Chains A and B, each alone.
Chain A
Amino acid sequence: MKKKLISLALASASLLGLAACGGSNAGSAANGVVNVYNWGEYIDQSVLDDFTAQTGIKVNYQTYDSNESLYGKLAGGATGYDVIIPSDYMIGQMIEEDMLEPLDFDNIPNFEDIDPTLKNPEYDPENLYSVPYMFGTLGIIYNTTMVDAGEDMETWNVLWDEKYAGDILMFDNPRDTIGIALKKLGYSYNTTDPAQVVAAVDALVAQRPLVQAYVMDDIFEKLEGGNAAIGVYYYGDFLTMKENNSDLAFALPREGTNRYVDAMCIPKGVENKSNAEAFINFMCSTDAGLRNCEETWYSSPLLSVREALDPEVVEDPFAYPDETFATEQCETFACLPADIRTLYNDQWVRLMNES
């Protein structure tokens, strides 16, 4: 129940944020403040109090619900965010568009503790702009009481199965949803072939009548309450949902899936850069990382946190996939060229405009 109230409050907060049109300010940027803009349901809030107690820096904390809305705000000229936590492909795009400030890693000594395989990623090849916050694997979350016994869930095709019409949930953002259709058709997440993108959206148009809703964090309430049978979301969220509904199960599609990394960045032109770096460093401390991990159940990039976690958690192959699995079955979103991004947007509107 607590969870529901939180998600309700967050949803209304994010919508209020939406209602307040562009150019809003996240708070006065005086000394001693850091303005943090993070995903909803993505932190142990007590960590923020500890940061303030330890450093004397006050935290203004706000949330968003998609990379696209974060981008829209910043591109629309909003200032006053000191730390943002976009995902891989959006970081790549922001670097390309010169929206991020290079980090001073002398102020972030805890960067040492980051898993070396997550350093120098494709989206930030020289690792100048970002420090990984969490990572995770996308998969199919389903209610075992609502799907046929013995149903093959390890395939994206189940999301196109007419048996489950009205019981399917998809993402409410183009990159993830079109990506799923690309994988179903056997293409790469990062294809730059316009014909493949259009074919993927054709498949989504055909799927649209079967979809109950396109959701982001609303998926918690939908799946936990048994209001839908099948959804797509991240393994960490599945663990959170399972605490509230033990009928839920997780499956990894064999066509391949997405491994995402969300990383902390500093937008161009911030006033509190050293405070922002202090915050990033604090979030990379073992204690903060451990508590965030135990709250959200996402996978931590911090080696010391993995040592401190329950061995059962660390050995969970979905949460901490081994190197071969991660490279052979998972693909990370890369930043797409600008013309393909435009195509994604146009095709997404085409899908959403179907009724």
Chain B
Amino acid sequence: MKNKAISYPYIGWMGIFVVAPILIITLYAFTADAGGFTLANFRDMAQYASAFGRSFLLAAVATVICLLMGYPLAYYLARETGWLRRMATMLIMLPMWMNFLLRTYSWKFLLERNGLLNAFFGLFGLGPFQMIDTQGAIVLGMVYNFLPYMVLPIFSVIEKIDPKVIEAAQDLGADSFTVFRRVTFPLSLPGVLSGITMVFIPSVSTFAISRLLGGSKTLLLGNLIDMQFLGSAYNPHLGSAISLVMMVIVMVCMAVMNHFGDGEQGVTL
């Protein structure tokens, strides 16, 4: 029983900073400014369907890019040993030691019309290209910021795969592609799933990236919610309703993903 007591601080923390806010948001979402129960906030939300679609689309694109870039890197690093691996892991972690907003802000200077990248293209007589304040810049910001969250979980899962399993497959005559397809990849799926979760959720709810790199030209859910609380369209009830719906959609997505994750034993490509 004593062991239980050491988890109380965390349980208290969760209660105050996770459970209570969700309850408050739920309360706000179902009430009107004048008080009393209402569903009007959810009805008003219909007009923002395009913002929902846009957010989920951009977050999905960023997640796919992170997966396509992150998986091979994680696979390679997990197979590598020695200084190269230490160095690469360090390089992946290094940017995470710096504030996320400062890193995102520095992309502004790279992507501007007279920024570093356009100056570089200018050397070859190309451009200038409009890169900042586009949806592409927002996806870039998401990929840049969240890529480590894709690489690290996949890396740690692949690293722990028992080499004997792979040797067994090879002994039974599987070529290297078949080993990957039938053994390594299915065993790495838990890492892939947590990587997808850790990239998709912050991407779908971001407001800082779209604000800094999107020039308020692309309204994402995070920006829409921000506007309701601290921005130009003050309405915390509507903001709470949007937050709640976003949370529910994300939870449904995750439940579906976990469902596939449970069946990983039988998953093959």
Contact = CB atoms under 8 A, between A and B. Distances in A.
Interface of A: 8, 11-12, 15-16, 18-19, 21-22, 66, 68-69, 71-73, 75-76, 166, 172-174, 208, 211-215, 218, 221-222, 225-228, 345-346, 348-350, 352-353, 355
A350 B233 CA distance: 11
Nearest to A213: B215
A346 B135 CA distance: 23
B112 interface: yes
A21 B229 contact: yes
Interface of B: 47-48, 50-51, 54, 99, 101-102, 105, 108, 112-115, 130, 132-133, 135, 207-208, 211-212, 215-219, 223-224, 226-227, 229-236
Given A12-B105, A221-B108, A345 B51 contact: no
B93 to A, nearest CB: 21
Contact of B234 (A19, A72, A352): A72
Given A8-B105, A66-B232, A345-B234, A228 B217 contact: no
A73 B216 CA distance: 21
Contacts of A66: 231-232
A345 B230 contact: no
Contacts of B207: 18
Nearest 10 CB-CB pairings of A with B = A213-B215, A214-B216, A345-B233, A72-B230, A213-B133, A68-B232, A227-B113, A12-B101, A227-B112, A352-B219
Contacts, number: 107
A353 B132 CA distance: 19
Given A68-B232, A226-B114, 17 more contacts: A12-B105, A22-B229, A68-B230, A75-B234, A76-B229, A172-B232, A208-B217, A213-B217, A215-B215, A221-B112, A225-B114, A226-B113, A346-B233, A349-B48, A349-B227, A352-B216, A355-B219
Contact of A349 (B208, B230, B233): B233
15 contacts: A16-B101, A18-B226, A72-B230, A76-B229, A166-B130, A208-B217, A213-B133, A213-B215, A213-B216, A226-B113, A227-B132, A348-B227, A349-B233, A353-B47, A353-B50
A15 B229 contact: no
Contacts of B230: 18, 22, 68-69, 72-73, 76
Given A12-B99, A213-B217, A214-B217, A348 B234 contact: no
Contacts of A72: 229-231, 234
Contact of B217 (A18, A211, A348): A211
B232 A348 contact: yes
B207 to A, nearest CB: 8
Contact of B216 (A71, A172, A227): A172
Contacts of A348: 227, 232-233
| Residue of B54, B101, B130 with highest tally of chain A CB at under 10 A | B101
A349 B226 CA distance: 12
Contacts of B234: 68, 71-72, 75, 345
A353 B113 contact: no
Contacts of B130: 166, 212
B50 A215 contact: no
Contacts of B211: 15
A180 to B, nearest CB: 15
A215 B213 CA distance: 11
Contacts of A174: 232-233
Nearest to B51: A353
Contact of A212 (B102, B133, B212, B224): B133
B138 to A, nearest CB: 11
A176 B48 CA distance: 23
Nearest to B106: A8
Nearest to A8: B105
Contacts of A71: 234
Contacts of A22: 229-230
B84 to A, nearest CB: 34
Nearest to B215: A213
Contact of A12 (B102, B114, B132, B135): B102
A353 B217 contact: no
A352 B215 CA distance: 11
A211 B132 CA distance: 12
Contact of B54 (A218, A350, A355): A355
Nearest to A353: B219
A99 B237 CA distance: 20
A250 B74 CA distance: 54
B43 to A, nearest CB: 14
B101 to A, nearest CB: 5
Nearest to B223: A352
Nearest to B21: A21
Contacts of B108: 221
Contacts of B217: 208, 211-214, 355
A352 B113 contact: no
